[in-house]
Structure 1
């Protein structure tokens, strides 16, 4: 199942899908994000979590521009508790290249990192390797 979220001008700001082969939810955030876009896209991700009960999430912010720190209060207080209740346990986050995006994710990590297994990565390969390792540990553990 794949969902695409568009700005009012028709530009994609999020593509999210359940990757059955890897057993994780993949989120590709793009462009500049308003609070409304963060909320709308996050509700879409939550819908996938509720449908699949998949504990693994891979968020790719390599094409994100600017800060999204304005959404962190809402993410911490509203979305994270709902996502955890839907079964999310492991969250691999590939950081945006810019300083503002990196500051946003580091702020989020400080807020919610103790509630789940959240790791920040500079490269996609590191993130996917970590998720595969978490899946393997869960199988043998």
Structure 2
């Protein structure tokens, strides 16, 4: 089962899944982010931290078009503390350099105090960094379907 968030036009703007092998939440953004989609989207994957006992997230914004600067203050002052209380400790975001999404991510990273975050150009580097923090207790969740469980 996979959880998707759709925009007002019916297009998928976010896909969220729990990677039980690596012990982190995966979130993939695409299209134009709106304040509403950002709030609904981050609330969706934040609910998974506590539910699955996870403290790591891997976010892919390489298919995001435009900026999420309109939601930056809310993300920093409302969402980040809430996500930390839900268990988030390590946040890896992959962005295409030179894009508006990457610019906002850099600003977010420079002002964030609620948890440890890094911005990456390449997915493999982000996964390698997160794997340093995903503890053995977070790896190898049992689920009847095995492998990666999507929520």
Please say whether Structure 1 and Structure 2 have the same fold, judged by a TM-score greater than 0.5.
yes
- 1:26 paired residue number: 26
Write the mapping of 1:49-60 to structure 2, written as runs, cut at 5 A.
49-60=49-60
Structure 1 CA distance for aligned equivalents of residues 114 and 68 of structure 2: 20
Q: What number of residue pairs does the alignment pair up?
A: 138
* TM-score, length-scaled by structure 2: 0.84
- SS of equivalent to 1:25: strand
Of Structure 1 and Structure 2, which has the larger fraction of its residues in helix? 1
Which structure 2 residues correspond to residues 60-79 of structure 1 after superposition, within 5 A? 60-79=60-79
Q: Whole-Å Cα distance in 2 between the matches of residues 66 and 86 of structure 1? A: 28
Residue 49 (structure 1) shift: 1.6
Alignment RMSD: 1.9
Contact kept in structure 2, 1:35 and 1:71, CA below 8 Å: yes
Which runs of structure 1 show a deviation greater than 4 angstroms over 4 or more consecutive aligned residues?
136-139
Matched with 1:122 is 121
User: Alpha-carbon deviation of 1:8?
Assistant: 1.5
Unaligned runs of 5+ in 1: none
Structure 2: gaps of 5 or more residues? 139-151
1:90 corresponds in structure 2 to 90
The more displaced of 120-129 and 97-106 is: 97-106
3-state secondary structure, aligned to 2:117: strand
Cα 1:138–1:92 change in 2 (3 A) is: farther
Compute the TM-score of the two structures, normalised by the length of structure 1. Answer: 0.90
